[in-house]
C-alpha cells in the first residue's frame, strides 16, 4: 500500500525478501555493538515486513504525512528491529547502520521519537504504547482522519496494568481504527512470560474486553497477511488484536537454541557465521 517512492528494490519485491533484508540490517547493526536485542529483531522481522510493505499506508519520503497510518513501537528496546525495517523502507539511510547505538546517532539503542524519522513515540518504560495509541485513535477520529494506528507491544507488557486499562478504554470508545499486534515470543527479561505473569488464555482475555482477536504464527508471512487484512477490513466497531507467536532469533539456529535470548552477546567470529546462514537463505 505504501507508495514506495524511495523503494530501492522495487514494489514487486516479495515480503519474504523484505523480512530477510530486515534480518540482515539487524545483524549488521547488532555487530556494531557486539550485543543487544538481536533476538527480538530476528523474531519480529516477518511482522515488520508485512506491516511496512503490505499493511501500512505511509510515505517513506514524508514520514509525517498527515494521512499516514501510525505505527507505535511500545517497546523501546525493539528499536533495532524498527530501524532495520525503516532502512529497508527508505525512511532511514542504510549508511547510518554503522552509527547504531553511538553518541549522536539517529538510531539510539532505545527508540526515541525526537531522534529518528518514522519513530512515532519514545519507548523505554513499558506499558504505555497502547494507552498512547488509544489517545491517537480518538484524536484521529475527531479530526475525521481515516488513518489506522498499529501498536506493536510485547508479551512482557501484558504484565503491566496500564496495558489492560488501555484495552478496556479502546473497546469503550469503539476504536475500530486501532490494531494491536502482540509479539508473543514467550520471553521477557527474567525468563518465560508464561512463568512470570501468565496472560493465557490470551484470545479469551482480549475477546472478553470486547476486542476482535486473531492468533497466528508470527513467522508465517501468509498467516500474517491474512490476519492483517482481516483486522483492517473487519466491519465491526471494535478494536482489533493480532497475537503473533514468534521465535526469538528466528532464522539463525545457533542463536535460536540459546537459553537466554532477551539480551544477547554474540562473539566477534559469530557475526560472520550468522550472516553466512542468512545469506544462504536469501529469497528471490
Ligand atoms: C515499566 C518497566 N518495567 C521494567 C522495565 C525493564 N525491562 C526492559 S525490557 C523488559 C522485558 C519485557 O518483556 P518483553 O518485552 O516481552 O521482553 P522480550 O520479549 O524482549 O525479551 C523489562 C522488564 C521497563 N523497561 N519498563
Ligand atoms: Mg517477550
- DSSP H or E segment with residue 155: none
Ligand nearest to the CA of 264: 1
Residues 68-94: pLDDT tens digits? 999 999 999 999 999 999 999 999 999
CA 261 to ligand 1: nearest atom = 21
Mean pLDDT by 10 residues, the chain (284 residues): 66 96 98 96 98 97 97 98 98 97 96 97 97 98 98 98 98 98 96 94 98 98 98 98 98 94 95 97 93
User: Of ligand 1's atoms, which has the minimum distance to the CA of residue 37?
Assistant: 20
Total domains in the chain come to 1
DSSP helix/strand/coil, 26: helix
Pocket lining: 189 vs ligand 1, CB cutoff 6 Å: yes
Q: How far, in Å, CA of 201 to CA of 184, rounded?
A: 12
Residue 7 counted as domain residue: no
DSSP 68: P
Q: Map grid coordinates 550485543 to a residue.
A: 35
Ligand 2 centroid to residue 9 C-alpha, Å: 31
Residue 264: closest CA among 92, 97, 102, 26: 26
C-alpha grid cell, residue 34: 557486539
Domain annotation covers residue 284 = no
Q: Whose CA is nearest to atom 9 of ligand 1?
A: 189
Q: Is residue 231 part of a domain?
A: yes
Residue 194 CA to ligand 2 centre (angstroms): 10
**How far apart, in whole angstroms, are the C-alpha atoms of residue 236 and residue 79?**
32
Residue written as grid cell 515488520 = 48
What pLDDT, on the 0 to 100 scale, is given for residue 1?
46
Residues with CB under 5 A from ligand 2 (ion): 154-156, 185, 187-188
Asked whether residue 189 is assigned to any structural domain, the reply reads: yes
Return the pLDDT at 5: 61
Q: Tell me, what's the pLDDT at 3?
A: 56
User: Exposed (0-12), middle (13-18) or buried (19+): which is 73, by Cβ within 10 Å?
Assistant: buried
CA of 226 to the centre of ligand 1 (A): 29
| 155 within domain boundaries | yes
Please name which ligand lies nearest the alpha carbon of 158. 1
Task: Measure the CA–CA gap between 99 and 33, rounded to whole angstroms.
Answer: 9
Could you tell me the distance, in angstroms and rounded to a whole number, from the CA of residue 16 to the centre of ligand 2?
23
- Find the domain containing 135 and state its range: 15-279
User: Does the beta carbon of 262 lie inside 6 Å of ligand 1?
Assistant: yes
Average pLDDT taken over every residue of the chain: 96
Sheet holding 212-217, edge to edge: 70-73, 149-154, 178-184, 240-245, 212-217
Asked whether residue 1 is assigned to any structural domain, the reply reads no
Report which bound ligand comes closest to the CA of 157. 1
Q: Which CATH number goes with the domain that contains 213?
A: 3.40.50.970
Question: Does any domain span residue 168?
Answer: yes
For residues 247 and 242, give the distance between their C-alpha atoms in angstroms, rounded to a whole number: 16
Could you report the per-residue pLDDT of 158-207, keeping only the tens digit for each?
A: 999 999 999 999 999 999 999 999 999 999 999 999 999 999 999 999 99
Does the CB atom of residue 74 touch ligand 1 within 6 A?
no
Residue 6 lies in a domain: no
- Residue 156 CA to ligand 2 center (angstroms) comes to 5
Nearest to 206 by CA among 139, 246, 153: 153
- Ligand 1 test: best mutation among 154, 195, 243, most atoms within 8 Å of CB? 154
Q: How far is CA 116 from CA 56, 108, 120, in A?
A: 18, 8, 9
Cell numbers for 147: 488513518
Amino acid at each position: 500500500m505504501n507508495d514506495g517512492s524511495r523503494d530501492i528494490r522495487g514494489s514487486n519485491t516479495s515480503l519474504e525478501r523484505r523480512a530477510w533484508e530486515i534480518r540482515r540490517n539487524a545483524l549488521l547493526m547488532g555487530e556494531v555493538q557486539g550485543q543487544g536485542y538481536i533476538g527480538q529483531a530476528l523474531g519480529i522481522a516477518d511482522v515488520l515486513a508485512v506491516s511496512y510493505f503490505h499493511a501500512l499506508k505511509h510515505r517513506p519520503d514524508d514520514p509525517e504525512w498527515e494521512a499516514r497510518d501510525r505505527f507505535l513501537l511500545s517497546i523501546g528496546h525493539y528499536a533495532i528491529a524498527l530501524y532495520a525495517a525503516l532502512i529497508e523502507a527508505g525512511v532511514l539511510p542504510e549508511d547510518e547502520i554503522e552509527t547504531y547505538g553511538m553518541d549522536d546517532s539517529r538510531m539510539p539503542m532505545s527508540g526515541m521519537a525526537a531522534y529518528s524519522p518514522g519513530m512515532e513515540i519514545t519507548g523505554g518504560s513499558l506499558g504505555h504504547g497502547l494507552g498512547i495509541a488509544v489517545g491517537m485513535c480518538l484524536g484521529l477520529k475527531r479530526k475525521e482522519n481515516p488513518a489506522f494506528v498499529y501498536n506493536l507491544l510485547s508479551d512482557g507488557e501484558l504484565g503491566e496494568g496500564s496495558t489492560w486499562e488501555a484495552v478496556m478504554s479502546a473497546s469503550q470508545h469503539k476504536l475500530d481504527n486501532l490494531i494491536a499486534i502482540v509479539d508473543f515470543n514467550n520471553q521477557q527479561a527474567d525468563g518465560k512470560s508464561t512463568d512470570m505473569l501468565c496472560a493465557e488464555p490470551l484470545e479469551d482475555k482480549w475477546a472478553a474486553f470486547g476486542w476482535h482477536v486473531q492468533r497466528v504464527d508470527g513467522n508465517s508471512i501468509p498467516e500474517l497477511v491474512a490476519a492483517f487484512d482481516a483486522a483492517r477490513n473487519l466491519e465491526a466497531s471494535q478494536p482489533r488484536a493480532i497475537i503473533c507467536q514468534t521465535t526469538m532469533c528466528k532464522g539463525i539456529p545457533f542463536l535460536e537454541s540459546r537459553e537466554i535470548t532477551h539480551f544477547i552477546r554474540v562473539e566477534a567470529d559469530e557475526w560472520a557465521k550468522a550472516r553466512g546462514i542468512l545469506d544462504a537463505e536469501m529469497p528471490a
